Amino acid sequence: MNQEKALVWFRRDLRDHDHAALSAALSNAREVHCAFIFDTDILDALPSRQDRRVQFIRESLVELDAALRARGGGLIVRYGRASEEIPNLARELGVASVYANRDYEPAAKARDAAVAENLEALGIAFHTRKDQAIFDGDDVLTQAGRPFSVFTPYKNAWLKRLTSADYAEWSWRGKLAPCASAAVPRLDQIGFAPTDLEQLGIRPGMSGARALWEEFRNGRMARYGALRDFPAIKGVSYLSVHLRFGTISIRELVRSAIAEESTTWLNELIWRDFYFMILDHFPRVVSHAFKPEYDAIRWAERPDWLAAWQEGCTGYPLVDAAMRQLNHSGWMHNRLRMVVASFLTKDLGLDWRLGERYFAWELNDFDLSANNGGWQWASSSGCDAQPYFRIFNPVTQSEKFDPEGKFIRRYVPELAAVPNKYIHAPWLMGRIEQEALGVIIGRHYPGPIVDHAEARAETLARYAVVKKTG
């Protein structure tokens, strides 16, 4: 260990353990300061001053600060442009180095480049570490030395490359510098208002992640493959928002998946790395199709259909229930993310970017890489996407994954009295049955805004342009 002082810049890694940048700083400096910046470049772009994600971050920071203070340090929290605040803070503290964990989003990479440049002008080093992924950069490449574009070969190479060292826990050895800064600012002090996190039962911070993880690992992980596609069943981990903000370590999850031989769960974690890799190597996907020929598609322009989809009023019960779940809670079951994305792009014929943007506004666990990857997969424009002629039927998806309509009835209560026979396609009820149940299609619940069979034919014609030019 040398005699330098260092600063660790926390971003989407809000924990005090198994933390690559923190471990590196503690190993290389005599004293380590810790900081978080409420970055106005990010906050000012949010559509609302009531944002569950901001509250989640703020409350996670309170817990992180307490954990760091218990170790003799604490968290310095600033509000402003990170590209300016980090160099200014580093200069004030007199540190020789700043450490941070890598981010793969184009805007984050540009921000980090600006920070590195500003620090260099001050004679301060900027070091980044791999933390939110198991593999990144050029860790996993094809035999030709290029990034993968198909998941299964990537997964196979990922598994072949993996050793226990890749998911080992980062150690803690060293000393935190005492922190005399004030407490983490309140939401109103950074211009935001409280949300319904508590009412929704969302528990931020490392303790919230730990509670969910223990429940999943000890109760559901073994049955994850069998239960994960059924939204009415508690079958998934619900850890996505914690992975997004790093209140739990990806290495811990991989360690457990391997120890428990949970192949399906491990595959989902590998998908996460895969989409990070795609975004890192192919940043054009942020605004363009991964397959360039798919940018030639002429999408429908129907703002009324988009609004119906957003509001959960399409007339297709499973689609509507999923969208209402999202609007109510900021979360959507993964199977349903695929269903509603397919419906928007292939039943309504609307541009996948419209759906991607809406999810970015609404999802508590919004992560650009996974969100973009999922939407491009559904629209067949992305890497390893399903073929354009495979189009989810929203009725058969409903029958298969919510057979008794339990999920539908929870989020579309106007259909509560509809029997299982009609719950997936209530427009098939006769007028007499509708009147007897008090559910008149077109009055109490909308009829389908498109006919799936007709929409499928239009989609095949729309995508034929790609087939000719691809």
Tokens 């559901």, located at residue: 220
pLDDT of residue 208: 98
Mean pLDDT of 65-73: 96
Indicate if 151 and 123 belong to the same structural domain.
no
Residue-wise over 250-271: b if at least 16 C-beta within 10 A, else e?
Answer: bbbbbbbbbeeebeebbbbbbb
Catalytic pick among 170, 271, 305, 309: 271
Residues 102 and 66 grouped into a single domain = yes
CATH of residue 213: 1.25.40.80
| 185-204: pLDDT as tens digits | 999 999 999 999 999 999 99
Q: What is the reported pLDDT for 211?
A: 97
Residue 57 confidence (pLDDT): 98
Does residue 191 lie in a domain region? no
Q: pLDDT per residue over 326-341, tens digit each?
A: 999 999 999 999 999 9
* pLDDT score of 2 more than 90: no
Q: 331: how many CB neighbours lie within 10 A of its CB? A: 18
Active-site annotation holds for 265: no
CATH number of the domain bearing residue 41: 3.40.50.620
Catalytic option among 265, 305, 375, 377: 375
Rounded to the nearest integer, the mean pLDDT of the chain is: 95
In one letter, which amino acid is 221? M
**Residue bearing tokens 């491009």:** 376
Q: What per-residue confidence (pLDDT) applies to 1?
A: 42
Do the Cβ atoms of 440 and 434 come closer than 8 Å? yes
The model carries a pTM of 0.95
The reply to whether 318 and 434 lie within a common domain is yes
* Overall number of domains in the chain: 3
φ/ψ of 111, rounded to 5, equals: -60, -45
Hey, what are 242's tokens?
Answer: 């914690």
| Last residue in a domain, options 247, 281, 315 | 281
Work out the percent of the chain whose per-residue pLDDT is above 90: 94
Classified as helix, coil or strand, 375 is helix
In the beta sheet, which residues pair with residue 37? 78
SS3 223: helix
Residues 300 and 255 in one domain: no
Q: Based on the fold, state whether residues 343 and 400 are members of the same structural domain.
A: yes
Joined together, the tokens standing for residue 361 give 């506004």
Amino acid making up residue 232: A
| Active-site annotation holds for 305 | no
| Distance (Å, whole) CA 403 – CA 317 | 12
In a domain, 178, yes or no: no
Q: What is the mean pLDDT of residues 395-402?
A: 98
Taking the CB of residue 140, how many other CB atoms lie within 10 A of it? 24
219 lies in the same domain as 366 = no
Does residue 331 fall inside a structural domain? yes
Residue 352 is among the residues annotated as catalytic for this protein: yes
User: Residue 350 sits in which domain range?
Assistant: 292-469
Residue ranges in 99-239 assigned as alpha helix (H):
106-121, 151-161, 205-219, 224-227
The answer to whether residue 193 is domain-embedded is: no
Is 218 a residue whose pLDDT tops 50?
yes
Same domain, 236 and 298: no
71-98: burial string, b at 16+ Cβ within 10 Å, e else: eebbbbbbeebbbbbbbebbeebebbbb
pLDDT in tens, 82-95: 999 999 999 999 99
- Specify whether 309 is catalytic: no
Model confidence at 387, pLDDT cuts 50, 70, 90, reads: confident
Q: Is the same domain home to 33 and 127?
A: yes
Q: Does 407 have pLDDT greater than 70?
A: yes
Mean pLDDT of 205-217: 97
Name the phi and psi angles at 260, rounded to 5.
-90, 0
CA dist., res. 242 & res. 370, Å (int): 14
State the alpha helices, DSSP H only, in 71-204.
82-93, 106-121, 151-161
Burial degree of 124 (CB within 10 A; 0-12, 13-18, 19+): buried
Active site residue 271: yes
Q: Please check whether residues 412 and 296 belong to one and the same domain.
A: yes
Q: Give the model confidence (pLDDT) of 115-128 as tens digits.
A: 999 999 999 999 99
52-70 vs 205-219: helix axis angle to the nearest 10? 100
Q: 125-129 and 97-101 as β-strands: parallel, antiparallel, unpaired?
A: parallel
pLDDT value at residue 390: 85
Q: Specify the higher pLDDT residue, 390 or 394.
A: 394
User: Is residue 375 among the annotated active site residues?
Assistant: yes
Say whether pLDDT at 467 is over 70.
no
469 pLDDT tier (thresholds 50, 70, 90): low
104 and 137 part of one domain: no
Residue 103 pLDDT more than 90?
yes
Burial of 327 (0-12, 13-18, 19+ CB in 10 A): middle
Phi, then psi, of 318 in degrees rounded to 5: -70, -40
State whether 236 and 302 are in the same domain.
Answer: no
Tokens 């389908």, residue located: 448
Query: Which of 260, 299, 414, 433 is an active site residue?
Result: 299
Which residue, 281, 309, 324, sits at the end of a domain? 281
- pLDDT category at 173 given cuts 50, 70, 90 is confident
Q: Residue 384: pLDDT band by 50, 70, 90 thresholds?
A: confident
Of 63, 352, 356, 362, which one is the catalytic site residue?
352
- Give residue 412's identity as a one-letter amino acid code: V
pLDDT band with cut points at 50, 70 and 90 for residue 377: very high
- What tens digit of pLDDT does each residue of 289-322 get? 999 999 999 999 999 999 999 999 999 999 999 9
Domain-embedded: residue 250: yes
